[in-house]
Amino acid sequence: MKSVVRTDKLTKRFGALTAVDGIDLDVHEGEVFGFLGPNGAGKTTTLRLLCALIAPSSGTAEIAGFRLGRDDPKIRAAVGILTEQPGLYERQSASENLVFYATLYGLQTPVAKSQAERYLRLMGLWDRRKEPVATFSRGMKQKMAIARAALHEPRILFLDEPTTGLDPDAAKTVREFIVALRGEGRTVFLCTHNLDEADRLCDRIAFFRHRVLRIAQPDELRAELYGRATEIRLMPRPRAEDLVRVQAVAGVREAHLENGSIIVASEDPLRTNPLLVKALVDAGAEVAFVTERKAHLEEIYLKIVEPIE
Protein backbone atom coordinates (compact mmCIF):
# COMPACT_ATOMS: atom_id res chain seq x y z
CA MET A 1 0.00 0.00 0.00
CA LYS A 2 1.31 3.45 -0.92
CA SER A 3 2.30 5.73 1.94
CA VAL A 4 1.30 9.38 1.84
CA VAL A 5 2.54 10.34 5.28
CA ARG A 6 5.69 8.84 6.65
CA THR A 7 7.52 10.18 9.67
CA ASP A 8 10.76 9.09 11.24
CA LYS A 9 11.31 10.05 14.87
CA LEU A 10 9.52 13.35 14.32
CA THR A 11 9.90 15.49 17.42
CA LYS A 12 8.70 18.92 18.47
CA ARG A 13 9.85 20.59 21.65
CA PHE A 14 8.63 23.85 23.15
CA GLY A 15 11.32 24.70 25.69
CA ALA A 16 11.31 21.96 28.29
CA LEU A 17 8.06 20.44 27.00
CA THR A 18 8.27 17.72 24.39
CA ALA A 19 4.90 17.93 22.68
CA VAL A 20 5.68 15.31 20.03
CA ASP A 21 8.23 12.74 21.01
CA GLY A 22 9.87 10.89 18.15
CA ILE A 23 6.79 9.60 16.34
CA ASP A 24 6.95 7.08 13.53
CA LEU A 25 3.84 7.12 11.38
CA ASP A 26 2.98 5.44 8.12
CA VAL A 27 -0.38 6.56 6.74
CA HIS A 28 -1.64 4.88 3.58
CA GLU A 29 -3.23 6.47 0.57
CA GLY A 30 -7.03 6.35 0.61
CA GLU A 31 -7.49 5.49 4.27
CA VAL A 32 -9.18 7.34 7.08
CA PHE A 33 -6.54 7.41 9.78
CA GLY A 34 -7.78 8.18 13.28
CA PHE A 35 -5.55 10.05 15.69
CA LEU A 36 -6.84 9.72 19.22
CA GLY A 37 -5.46 11.05 22.45
CA PRO A 38 -6.37 13.13 25.48
CA ASN A 39 -6.33 16.93 25.55
CA GLY A 40 -2.80 18.27 25.53
CA ALA A 41 -1.40 15.06 24.06
CA GLY A 42 0.15 16.93 21.13
CA LYS A 43 -2.35 15.99 18.40
CA THR A 44 -2.77 19.52 17.07
CA THR A 45 0.99 20.07 17.18
CA THR A 46 1.44 16.89 15.14
CA LEU A 47 -1.08 18.18 12.62
CA ARG A 48 0.74 21.49 12.37
CA LEU A 49 4.01 19.68 11.83
CA LEU A 50 2.58 17.49 9.10
CA CYS A 51 1.02 20.49 7.33
CA ALA A 52 4.37 22.31 7.38
CA LEU A 53 2.98 25.07 9.58
CA ILE A 54 5.71 24.64 12.18
CA ALA A 55 9.19 23.20 11.88
CA PRO A 56 10.15 20.03 13.75
CA SER A 57 12.85 20.10 16.42
CA SER A 58 14.27 16.87 15.03
CA GLY A 59 13.30 13.91 12.88
CA THR A 60 12.09 13.78 9.31
CA ALA A 61 8.79 13.44 7.50
CA GLU A 62 7.61 12.88 3.97
CA ILE A 63 4.14 14.12 3.13
CA ALA A 64 2.55 13.39 -0.24
CA GLY A 65 6.03 12.59 -1.52
CA PHE A 66 7.55 15.88 -0.37
CA ARG A 67 10.17 16.32 2.28
CA LEU A 68 9.21 18.37 5.33
CA GLY A 69 11.50 21.38 5.74
CA ARG A 70 12.64 21.31 2.11
CA ASP A 71 9.38 21.32 0.13
CA ASP A 72 7.06 23.09 2.57
CA PRO A 73 5.06 25.12 -0.02
CA LYS A 74 4.55 21.92 -2.04
CA ILE A 75 3.35 20.10 1.07
CA ARG A 76 0.92 22.92 1.83
CA ALA A 77 -0.39 22.73 -1.72
CA ALA A 78 -0.91 18.96 -1.46
CA VAL A 79 -2.70 18.96 1.88
CA GLY A 80 -5.77 20.62 3.33
CA ILE A 81 -6.24 21.39 7.00
CA LEU A 82 -9.27 22.00 9.14
CA THR A 83 -8.04 23.86 12.19
CA GLU A 84 -9.67 23.75 15.63
CA GLN A 85 -11.43 27.05 14.93
CA PRO A 86 -13.09 27.70 11.55
CA GLY A 87 -11.15 31.00 11.16
CA LEU A 88 -13.25 32.58 8.43
CA TYR A 89 -13.54 36.21 7.39
CA GLU A 90 -16.80 37.02 9.12
CA ARG A 91 -17.67 40.21 7.22
CA GLN A 92 -17.30 38.51 3.87
CA SER A 93 -19.74 36.21 2.19
CA ALA A 94 -19.35 32.43 2.02
CA SER A 95 -18.54 32.67 -1.66
CA GLU A 96 -15.97 35.45 -1.22
CA ASN A 97 -14.23 33.48 1.52
CA LEU A 98 -13.86 30.38 -0.62
CA VAL A 99 -12.85 32.21 -3.79
CA PHE A 100 -10.20 34.13 -1.83
CA TYR A 101 -8.66 30.93 -0.47
CA ALA A 102 -8.90 29.24 -3.86
CA THR A 103 -6.89 32.15 -5.27
CA LEU A 104 -4.25 31.69 -2.57
CA TYR A 105 -4.06 28.04 -3.60
CA GLY A 106 -3.22 29.28 -7.08
CA LEU A 107 -6.51 28.40 -8.78
CA GLN A 108 -7.45 30.52 -11.78
CA THR A 109 -10.56 32.65 -11.20
CA PRO A 110 -13.02 30.48 -13.23
CA VAL A 111 -11.73 27.31 -11.53
CA ALA A 112 -11.81 29.03 -8.13
CA LYS A 113 -15.44 30.02 -8.66
CA SER A 114 -16.49 26.59 -9.87
CA GLN A 115 -14.71 24.86 -6.96
CA ALA A 116 -16.35 27.27 -4.51
CA GLU A 117 -19.73 26.49 -6.04
CA ARG A 118 -19.07 22.73 -5.94
CA TYR A 119 -18.19 22.70 -2.26
CA LEU A 120 -20.88 25.16 -1.22
CA ARG A 121 -23.45 22.91 -2.88
CA LEU A 122 -21.88 19.80 -1.33
CA MET A 123 -22.13 21.35 2.13
CA GLY A 124 -25.65 22.61 1.57
CA LEU A 125 -24.64 26.28 1.76
CA TRP A 126 -25.19 27.36 -1.83
CA ASP A 127 -28.42 29.21 -1.06
CA ARG A 128 -26.59 31.35 1.51
CA ARG A 129 -23.47 31.97 -0.55
CA LYS A 130 -23.95 35.75 -0.63
CA GLU A 131 -24.53 36.18 3.09
CA PRO A 132 -21.74 37.27 5.45
CA VAL A 133 -20.24 34.37 7.35
CA ALA A 134 -20.96 36.25 10.62
CA THR A 135 -24.63 35.34 10.19
CA PHE A 136 -23.85 31.60 10.01
CA SER A 137 -24.33 29.09 12.81
CA ARG A 138 -21.40 27.20 14.33
CA GLY A 139 -22.23 24.17 12.22
CA MET A 140 -22.39 26.15 9.00
CA LYS A 141 -19.05 27.78 9.75
CA GLN A 142 -17.53 24.38 10.40
CA LYS A 143 -18.87 23.12 7.07
CA MET A 144 -17.44 26.23 5.40
CA ALA A 145 -14.05 25.51 6.96
CA ILE A 146 -14.16 21.91 5.72
CA ALA A 147 -15.09 23.16 2.25
CA ARG A 148 -12.09 25.51 2.38
CA ALA A 149 -9.79 22.65 3.38
CA ALA A 150 -10.95 20.53 0.43
CA LEU A 151 -11.27 23.32 -2.14
CA HIS A 152 -8.01 22.62 -3.95
CA GLU A 153 -8.59 18.84 -4.05
CA PRO A 154 -5.73 17.94 -1.70
CA ARG A 155 -4.35 14.42 -1.52
CA ILE A 156 -4.49 14.46 2.27
CA LEU A 157 -6.97 16.20 4.50
CA PHE A 158 -6.07 16.85 8.11
CA LEU A 159 -9.24 17.34 10.10
CA ASP A 160 -8.98 18.50 13.70
CA GLU A 161 -12.21 17.75 15.58
CA PRO A 162 -14.44 18.17 12.53
CA THR A 163 -17.75 17.41 14.25
CA THR A 164 -17.18 19.07 17.64
CA GLY A 165 -20.12 21.30 18.53
CA LEU A 166 -22.18 20.27 15.50
CA ASP A 167 -25.80 19.20 15.65
CA PRO A 168 -26.50 15.59 14.54
CA ASP A 169 -27.57 16.68 11.08
CA ALA A 170 -24.43 18.73 10.40
CA ALA A 171 -22.24 16.00 11.94
CA LYS A 172 -23.83 13.48 9.58
CA THR A 173 -23.07 15.70 6.58
CA VAL A 174 -19.43 15.92 7.69
CA ARG A 175 -19.15 12.16 8.22
CA GLU A 176 -20.67 11.49 4.81
CA PHE A 177 -18.20 13.91 3.32
CA ILE A 178 -15.29 12.05 4.94
CA VAL A 179 -16.59 8.76 3.56
CA ALA A 180 -16.95 10.35 0.11
CA LEU A 181 -13.34 11.60 0.29
CA ARG A 182 -12.14 8.09 1.07
CA GLY A 183 -14.23 6.87 -1.87
CA GLU A 184 -12.31 9.26 -4.12
CA GLY A 185 -9.03 7.77 -2.91
CA ARG A 186 -8.06 10.70 -0.69
CA THR A 187 -6.47 10.23 2.68
CA VAL A 188 -8.13 11.66 5.75
CA PHE A 189 -6.12 12.20 8.93
CA LEU A 190 -8.77 12.55 11.57
CA CYS A 191 -8.13 13.96 15.05
CA THR A 192 -11.16 13.44 17.21
CA HIS A 193 -12.41 12.89 20.73
CA ASN A 194 -15.58 11.33 19.37
CA LEU A 195 -14.68 7.66 19.76
CA ASP A 196 -17.90 6.41 18.22
CA GLU A 197 -17.16 8.49 15.13
CA ALA A 198 -13.60 7.20 14.98
CA ASP A 199 -14.88 3.65 15.28
CA ARG A 200 -17.34 4.15 12.44
CA LEU A 201 -15.05 6.04 10.07
CA CYS A 202 -11.45 5.01 10.62
CA ASP A 203 -9.64 2.21 8.86
CA ARG A 204 -6.83 2.43 11.37
CA ILE A 205 -6.41 4.29 14.61
CA ALA A 206 -3.34 5.64 16.34
CA PHE A 207 -3.53 6.15 20.08
CA PHE A 208 -1.33 9.04 20.96
CA ARG A 209 0.03 10.83 23.98
CA HIS A 210 3.16 12.75 22.99
CA ARG A 211 4.22 9.50 21.29
CA VAL A 212 2.34 6.85 19.40
CA LEU A 213 1.14 4.24 21.87
CA ARG A 214 -0.49 1.90 19.39
CA ILE A 215 -1.68 1.79 15.76
CA ALA A 216 -4.22 -0.82 14.70
CA GLN A 217 -7.59 -1.44 13.09
CA PRO A 218 -10.47 -1.07 15.58
CA ASP A 219 -11.65 -4.67 15.09
CA GLU A 220 -8.13 -5.98 15.48
CA LEU A 221 -7.85 -4.17 18.83
CA ARG A 222 -11.19 -5.52 20.01
CA ALA A 223 -10.22 -9.08 19.18
CA GLU A 224 -6.85 -8.67 20.80
CA LEU A 225 -7.99 -7.02 24.00
CA TYR A 226 -11.30 -8.75 24.61
CA GLY A 227 -11.41 -11.79 22.36
CA ARG A 228 -14.80 -12.22 20.70
CA ALA A 229 -17.40 -11.51 23.35
CA THR A 230 -20.96 -12.79 23.63
CA GLU A 231 -23.74 -11.05 25.50
CA ILE A 232 -26.39 -13.30 27.11
CA ARG A 233 -29.61 -11.83 28.45
CA LEU A 234 -31.63 -13.93 30.85
CA MET A 235 -35.21 -13.52 32.07
CA PRO A 236 -35.78 -11.83 34.43
CA ARG A 237 -32.07 -11.30 35.19
CA PRO A 238 -28.97 -13.45 35.69
CA ARG A 239 -28.32 -14.94 39.12
CA ALA A 240 -24.90 -15.40 40.72
CA GLU A 241 -25.05 -19.16 40.13
CA ASP A 242 -25.71 -18.56 36.41
CA LEU A 243 -22.43 -16.67 36.17
CA VAL A 244 -20.58 -19.46 37.98
CA ARG A 245 -22.12 -21.99 35.61
CA VAL A 246 -21.06 -19.96 32.56
CA GLN A 247 -17.49 -19.56 33.87
CA ALA A 248 -17.28 -23.34 34.19
CA VAL A 249 -18.06 -23.97 30.51
CA ALA A 250 -15.07 -25.19 28.46
CA GLY A 251 -13.55 -22.53 26.19
CA VAL A 252 -14.72 -19.57 28.29
CA ARG A 253 -11.86 -17.19 28.92
CA GLU A 254 -13.66 -14.66 31.10
CA ALA A 255 -17.24 -13.89 32.11
CA HIS A 256 -18.78 -11.08 34.13
CA LEU A 257 -22.12 -9.40 34.79
CA GLU A 258 -22.79 -6.05 33.16
CA ASN A 259 -26.08 -4.12 33.03
CA GLY A 260 -28.18 -7.21 33.66
CA SER A 261 -26.36 -9.34 31.06
CA ILE A 262 -23.63 -11.94 31.22
CA ILE A 263 -20.66 -10.94 29.07
CA VAL A 264 -18.60 -13.91 28.01
CA ALA A 265 -15.21 -13.77 26.30
CA SER A 266 -14.16 -16.96 24.56
CA GLU A 267 -11.62 -18.04 22.01
CA ASP A 268 -14.15 -19.66 19.68
CA PRO A 269 -17.69 -18.38 20.21
CA LEU A 270 -19.14 -20.59 17.49
CA ARG A 271 -18.14 -23.66 19.48
CA THR A 272 -18.65 -22.21 22.98
CA ASN A 273 -22.00 -20.40 22.60
CA PRO A 274 -24.16 -23.55 22.12
CA LEU A 275 -22.49 -25.04 25.23
CA LEU A 276 -23.25 -21.87 27.18
CA VAL A 277 -26.91 -21.88 26.21
CA LYS A 278 -27.20 -25.59 27.04
CA ALA A 279 -25.56 -25.11 30.45
CA LEU A 280 -27.90 -22.24 31.33
CA VAL A 281 -31.07 -23.97 30.08
CA ASP A 282 -30.13 -27.17 31.93
CA ALA A 283 -29.79 -25.07 35.11
CA GLY A 284 -33.31 -23.72 34.61
CA ALA A 285 -32.39 -20.23 33.38
CA GLU A 286 -34.57 -18.60 30.72
CA VAL A 287 -32.35 -17.34 27.89
CA ALA A 288 -33.91 -14.32 26.17
CA PHE A 289 -31.09 -13.14 23.81
CA VAL A 290 -27.65 -14.32 22.75
CA THR A 291 -25.83 -11.65 20.74
CA GLU A 292 -22.31 -10.83 19.66
CA ARG A 293 -20.97 -8.01 21.76
CA LYS A 294 -18.71 -5.40 20.26
CA ALA A 295 -16.54 -3.64 22.77
CA HIS A 296 -16.85 0.14 22.56
CA LEU A 297 -13.79 1.97 21.36
CA GLU A 298 -13.96 3.90 24.61
CA GLU A 299 -13.03 0.77 26.56
CA ILE A 300 -10.10 0.16 24.25
CA TYR A 301 -9.06 3.81 24.45
CA LEU A 302 -9.13 3.80 28.23
CA LYS A 303 -7.19 0.56 28.34
CA ILE A 304 -4.42 1.86 26.04
CA VAL A 305 -4.25 5.55 26.93
CA GLU A 306 -5.13 5.61 30.63
CA PRO A 307 -2.46 3.27 32.10
CA ILE A 308 0.40 5.70 31.53
CA GLU A 309 -1.43 8.52 33.29
Partner 1 sequence: MTAVLAVSPARPTLVRAVCVREWREALGNKLLVGMTLLPPVVILVAGIAAVAAAAVNPPSDRDVQALYAAAPAVAGLDPKEAVQGFIATYFLILFMLIPTVVPLTMAIYSVIGEKASRTLEPLLATPVGVGDLLFAKSLASTVPSVIVTWSAYAIYLATVISIGSRAAGSSRSSSSSRCSPFSR
When the beta carbons of 85 and 291 are compared against partner 1, the nearer one is: 85
Asked whether the beta carbons of 249 and 275 are under 8 A apart, the reply is yes
Q: Report the SS3 class of residue 263.
A: strand
Other C-beta atoms closer than 10 Å to the C-beta of 155 total: 18
CB of 201 to partner 1, least distance (A): 18
Q: Which of 12, 143, 155, 245 binds partner 1 (CB under 8 A)?
A: 155
Residues 74-103 interacting with partner 1 (rule: CB under 8 A): 74, 76-78, 80-81, 83, 85-92, 96, 100-101, 103
Bridge partner list, 190:
34, 159
CB of 83 to partner 1, least distance (A): 5
51 binds partner 1 (CB under 8 A): yes
Say if CB 103 and CB 115 are below 8 A apart: no
61 in Cβ contact with 6 (< 8 Å): yes
Residues in the chain: 309
Name the residue nearer to partner 1 (CB basis): 75 or 212. Answer: 75
Q: How far apart are CA 192 and CA 43, in angstroms?
A: 9
- Work out whether 152 is an interface residue with partner 1 (CB under 8 A): yes
Contact status: 106 vs partner 1 (CB under 8 A)? yes
Q: Could you count the other beta carbons within 10 Å of the beta carbon of residue 201?
A: 23
End-to-end distance of the chain based on CA atoms, in angstroms? 34
Site map (CB under 8 A) of partner 1, residues 163-192, x = contact: ---------------------xxx------
> Which residues are at the interface with partner 1 (CB under 8 A)?
51, 53, 64, 73-74, 76-78, 80-81, 83, 85-92, 96, 100-101, 103-107, 111, 115, 145, 148, 152-155, 184-186
